Amino acid sequence: MDIYQSRHGRRSWDSEALEIGEMPFKDYAARYIANRRRCLTDNTLDQYNGSLERHLNPRIGSRKIGTFTPGVLEDLLSSLESDRVGLASQKNAYLVLKLVMDAARHRGALTRDPLLDIAAPVYVPDEVSIPTHGELQAIRASANDDDLRLVIELMAGCGLRNGEAHAANLKSIVADDVYRVTEQILGKTVTPAALKHRRRREFREVPLPRKTHAFTSARHTAQTRTATSSSKGTAPGTYPSKSRTASTGTSCPAPSPVQPASSTNGSKSS
């Protein structure tokens, strides 16, 4: 019985390996990501799919999995360089490529790792320049509305990323001097999402300066008065906004994305 099961299992394994080996890269990569969708954040899914659609599938999407060799992948990486794809995008594409190749190899479709002796693209982020106090004051002065000033205040005062500041929420003030960061607004879809490198309902807490607390509360009060005068049916404590309403409460309205605000805490937009 054990001999039968071992032989039967071996045939099933070989059959799966042969099937994967005949699949085009784009089909197997799509299946690989779909099978892991539950374990990935929205940001990670967007990153993986973006690397496939923009860089990998146009170059190797039709190639069968079983035909990948170190030479093929060397040519791929060289083409990314010659096409002047940014180093950050090259690194992301390499990451997705390695995940797919490793999965295929673990299932027997590849006898060896075609990326074993290939150096990964090296991405060194540019040094970020933190605005001086004077520059920060100039950025505040150039803001053309209170919504943008609120984003700038949260980024400068609490160290929030751009997307996190756009998800401003009074309920996130959990103490007079503590702000709980629970979510961010994705720039592409303008929808709420988990924090970068975190899952839904995970959070971090940051110090809340008195000045930032006062500015946030004053902005909410002003917005509430405006809403009360224009919408008699608005529930107390809420106000209409072009942005979404967060799952944890009413969010401050998100202004149109602007570049100056993203530099106030030295981090890139989420």
pLDDT at 11: 57
pLDDT at 199: 76
Whose CA is closest to 264, among 121, 141, 155? 155
The structural domain count of the chain equals 2
Q: Are residues 165 and 255 in the same domain?
A: yes
Q: Is residue 250 one of the residues assigned to a domain? A: yes
d(CA 40, CA 265): 27
Q: Are residues 137 and 244 in the same domain?
A: yes
Three-class DSSP category at 103: helix
Q: Are residues 24 and 98 in the same domain?
A: yes
Q: Is residue 123 one of the residues assigned to a domain? A: no
pLDDT at 229: 66
Q: Is residue 124 one of the residues assigned to a domain? A: no
Q: How many CB atoms neighbour CB 172 within 10 A?
A: 25
Domain that holds residue 100: 2-106
Q: Are residues 146 and 249 in the same domain?
A: yes
Q: Is residue 114 one of the residues assigned to a domain? A: no
Q: Is residue 113 one of the residues assigned to a domain? A: no
For residue 9 the two structure tokens come to 């299992």
Q: Is residue 125 one of the residues assigned to a domain? A: no
Last residue of a domain, one of 87, 106, 125: 106
Query: Contact at 8 Å (CB) between 61 and 97?
Result: no
Last residue of a domain, one of 55, 71, 106: 106
Whose CA is closest to 191, among 183, 201, 180? 183
Q: Are residues 101 and 138 in the same domain?
A: no
Q: Is residue 51 one of the residues assigned to a domain? A: yes
Q: Are residues 85 and 179 in the same domain?
A: no
| CB neighbour class for 254 (10 Å; exposed up to 12, middle 13-18, buried from 19) | buried
Instruction: List pLDDT tens digits, range 120-170.
Output: 998 877 787 888 889 988 988 888 888 888 899 999 999 999 899 999 888
Q: Is residue 25 one of the residues assigned to a domain? A: yes
For residue 213 the two structure tokens come to 């607390």
Q: Are residues 10 and 89 in the same domain?
A: yes
Q: Are residues 92 and 180 in the same domain?
A: no
Q: Are residues 28 and 95 in the same domain?
A: yes
Q: Are residues 250 and 138 in the same domain?
A: yes
pLDDT at 25: 98
Q: Are residues 207 and 141 in the same domain?
A: yes
Q: Which residue numbers in the chain have pLDDT < 70?
A: 1-11, 13, 227-270
Q: Are residues 51 and 6 in the same domain?
A: yes
CATH number at residue 12: 1.10.150.130
